[in-house]
Every structure is written in structure tokens, then in C-alpha cells.
Amino acid sequence: MKITGTTKLYGLFGTPVEHSMSPAMYNYCFEKWNLDCRYLAFDVPRERTEDAVKAFRTLGMKGANVTMPCKQAVIPYLDWVSPAVTLSGACNTIVNDNGTLKGYITDGEGYVMNLQTHGMDIQGKKITLLGAGGAATAIQVQALLDGASAIWVFNKKDAFWDFAQKKIRELQEAFPNQEIRLYDLEDSRLLKAKIQDSDVLTNATRVGMAPLENSSLIQDMSLFRESLLVTDCVYNPRKTRLLKDAEKNGSRTADGLGMLLYQGAAAVKLYTGQDMPVDEIREEFFKSR
């Protein structure tokens, strides 16, 4: 497709972005649907976030994805944000609605949609979540919004612990009829008990990606069972040590690439109202991963 005087601009804000697959994914959709749109990646450090949003307005951009380190910094410069953004404190998608900049977070939606494609309706389900960082927070928020009955978060008592406690308390106040608790990852007996009572086990830490690709936070193979869906937010490698162990010991699994693709699909839906061809995108751009 040719770029014309009416071509609409979409983009990615954050740094580093040179290796991002977002331009390829979104431009593939625009071309498939014959839309007069183009998507570019813009390297934006955190301290230039306000400038990027001003440029967004000035250029009349139609939408943008936001990656680290700008996910939190972008929020004050938007006109409206979704409840999920307010609860999570992060935004990864901006939509220009006739001059009103609206902020959304689709990471949690990608997680829930990935579960659904593996036969898991999250409503009423119990989740053990390893990690309490940005991805984990987005998962917590969306899972609670979609009706999960309990989320048990396990994190190391490190420098991040106090922040995690604060966020969990905020979510407890926002969702008084659902259970969300934070526990010490080193408490192996409690971790075992919660996994045994869970429908879903999810790793939202960096364990499993290089240089920890041969590591897993779960060492007790007896915790895996047929009724447990084990998922990972790590998507490179596709099959982490956690997922390999889970499959070998009888659990169903869902890899992190699914979450990545479906969060992109949720953004595409916001931009165009159309459903991203997830299977085509997976085959076209991620077959070798």
C-alpha cells in the first residue's frame, strides 16, 4: 500500500524499540484490511514522555502503544483512562477519539484471552501468581475485573516488596468480595498449598528467559496435575523450563507468546474495531520462536 496525504499514523513509544515486532504485526493487519494506515516505532525515553504525547496531539496520530519505561509516565498527559489503567497504574495503549486521548492497558486482557483459548474461563477461578511486577499487576487487575475468585501472589521479600504490598491493599479495597493476597515466595509450604488449590499457575517473573532459561521457580513436580493450567509470561523461549516440567508431569500449558499476541489483538480492536488474525500473525512472525 502507498502512503498518501490521508494516511493515518500509529506508533510505539518507549525504549529500546528497534527490535519490536509491533510495526510488523500492525502493518500486516492494516495491509490485510486495506486500511490507509501505517505504524512506526519511536524511541522515547521516560523523560521525553510529555513531548511524545504533545507530538501525538500535534501530528493527529490515531493511536499508539506504550512500552517501558513510559507506561506509568504517560498517564498524566492523557484526557481519560480506563478503570484498569487507574487500578494498575500503567497504560500501554493510547487511542485518539476525535481529539480526546484515551488510555488503556491490554496486557491483562491478553492474559485472560490466552486462558480462554486454552479452555479456561477465569470467572470464579483461583490463580497462583509468581511475581508482583508490572505484568503481574496488569494480570491481577484484569483477572479481578473478569471475576476471578482468588489471586495468591508470591514474591520475594526484596526492594519491591513494599510497593507490591501497597498495590495489593489497593486492590483489596477495590474488590472487597474477591480474595487477593501477597505471600513470601520463600514460604514453600504455603506456595505448595495454594498451587494445590488453584485452577491456574502463572509465572510473571523473568525466571525462564535468558540467562535463566534453564531455571524454574517450581521444583516440586508433584504440584503439576491434569486440572492445573500452567502459564508463563515469558515468550522467548516459547517453552520455558516451567512449561516443559508442567507438560512432562501432566498439566496443560499456555505459553507467553499467546499473551503477547492477544494483548496486541486487544489494541488492534481498539484502533480498528476488527479482530486481529492471531494465528496468521503467529505463523508469519513467530514461527521460529
| Residues of each annotated binding site | 20-22, 67, 92, 107, 131-135, 233, 235, 256, 263
Which residue matches cell numbers 499476541?
261
Task: Give strand ranges (E) for the chain.
Answer: 8-14, 37-43, 63-66, 80-81, 93-97, 100-104, 126-130, 150-155, 179-184, 200-203, 229-232, 252-254
Are 245 and 220 contacting, i.e. CB atoms less than 8 angstroms apart?
no
Interatomic CA distance for residues 16 and 11, integer angstroms:
14
Give yes or no: 54 in active site. Answer: no
Binding-site residue positions for shikimate: 20-22, 67, 92, 107, 235, 263
Can you read off the three cell numbers belonging to residue 282?
503467529
Q: What is the CA radius of gyration of the chain?
A: 19
* Binding residue ranges for NADP(+): 131-135, 233, 256
Helix (H) or strand (E) holding 117: helix 107-117
Of residues 71, 17, 69, the one with CA closest to residue 43: 17
Find the length of the chain.
Answer: 289
What sign results for the dihedral spanned by CA atoms 145, 147, 149, 153? negative
The kind and range of the H/E element at 22 are: helix 22-32
Catalytic residue (choose from 2, 54, 62, 71): 71
**Catalytic residue ranges:** 71
